[in-house]
Amino acid sequence: MRSWQRMFVAVMRLLLKCLRLGRRRRFKLLRQVEQLWHYGNLCLRSLLYNSFTNGDVVLDSLFEPIYWLVDHVTRWFGVVFVALVIGLTSSIVAIVYICLLPLILQTYTPAWICWHLAYGHWNLIMIVFHYYMAITTSPGHPPQAKDDLSGVSICRKCIAPKPARTHHCSICNRCVLKMDHHCPWLNNCVGHYNHRYFFSFCLFMTMGCIYCSVSGWEMFRDAYAAIERMKLLEKERLQVAANQTYYQTPPPTFSFHQRAFHKSVVYLWVLCSSVALALGALTLWHAALITRGETSIERHINKKERQRLQKKGKVFRNPYSYGGWDNWKVFLGVDAPRHWLTRVLLPSPHLPHGTGLSWDLPPCVTEQRTPLLAI
């Protein structure tokens, strides 16, 4: 009896030792894992530590692959967007000449015919001219030699001189003079030398779309009603044909020419109205920027600078703004009253004021305004 008790006690002591040993090993393993975690965290922080790092920097770093993808996709899809603009515009012009122009010549009075022919062709010429110039004209780039410019900063990406109002385009991978933005619909940057062409194209394209939408409103209503009648008669014809033999099926009510005509009018009105709304909003936005003497990029820079100085009780003034009217004269290159006709209302390839490297007072500005603070 005592022998069994001794064996039981010995076994229990052995189990307790095993449990204690296992607990010590488990605690030791947990301590090693915790030490490795703290050590790895310390190494990671020491390698990535930067006193200027904040949430914005981390967010930009996380979105850097997306930015890279957008830049490269936009560069390759620019040709597709240009072809799309040319194709859609050509389709509208073809519909106007094939479908609407014969109807205008047959039903309108001579005065209205002269008006539509004169305004329509003038608007079309302005659209084609400014779009072609916006695509083919270089926005302007600063010289690569550092000796050509003095007192300018250096671009951190292309390691080249960066004059005032110049910004680096990640899609073109070059610095652009007075950069506004990179437009995929032009497959080109909008800068110092083609900014006027870009805005004029947006303006005249919006005017042309509004002209087509307003002029074709009555035709659109008639065409839409005709299409609805087509659908209704087509259902009735199919119902009648289901109860008759194949040789008693009635012929179609509308011919192919009539169907194509009505659908083309609906397509023209819907496309022109949509483009007029979207492009009209963009044109108004750029018109407001031109009135303030800013570009799209400078708008954000000046806004932050204005808020920063406002907290200090100071006033910010844009050094490149000469007043609303003078800003438009500088932008359009109007130096004399006749230039409103020859350079604004007619196609003109004249160059903008200045070289984009320095910003002296243009000759068309009436009064020189001394800026309080420069950008």
234 Cα distance to chain centroid: 43
56: burial class by Cβ within 10 Å (0-12, 13-18, 19+)? exposed
Distance of alpha carbon 80 from alpha carbon 304, whole angstroms: 36
Residues 6+ apart with CB under 8 A from 239: none
Provide CB contacts within 8 A for 334, sequence distance 6+: 328, 340, 343, 344, 364
Q: Which of these is catalytic: 99, 169, 183, 212?
A: 183
Q: How big is the chain, counted in residues?
A: 375
Token pair recorded at residue 302: 């000046």
Pairwise CA distance, residues 281 & 264, whole Å: 26
Q: Quick check: 276 and 269 in contact, CB under 8 A?
A: no
Q: CB 132: neighbour CB atoms within 10 A?
A: 13
Our answer to whether residue 183 is catalytic in this structure is yes
Kindly provide the residue ranges of all beta strands, DSSP E only, lying in 157-201, ordered along the sequence: 161-162, 167-169, 174-176, 181-183, 188-190
For 59, other C-beta atoms within 10 Å of its C-beta total 10
Whose tokens are 């950008």? That residue is 375
Give the containing element (helix H, strand E) for 328: helix 324-332
Q: Would you give the distance in Å from CA 135 to the centre of its chain?
A: 15
- Residue 196 in contact with residue 287, Cβ under 8 Å? no
So which residues are the catalytic ones?
183
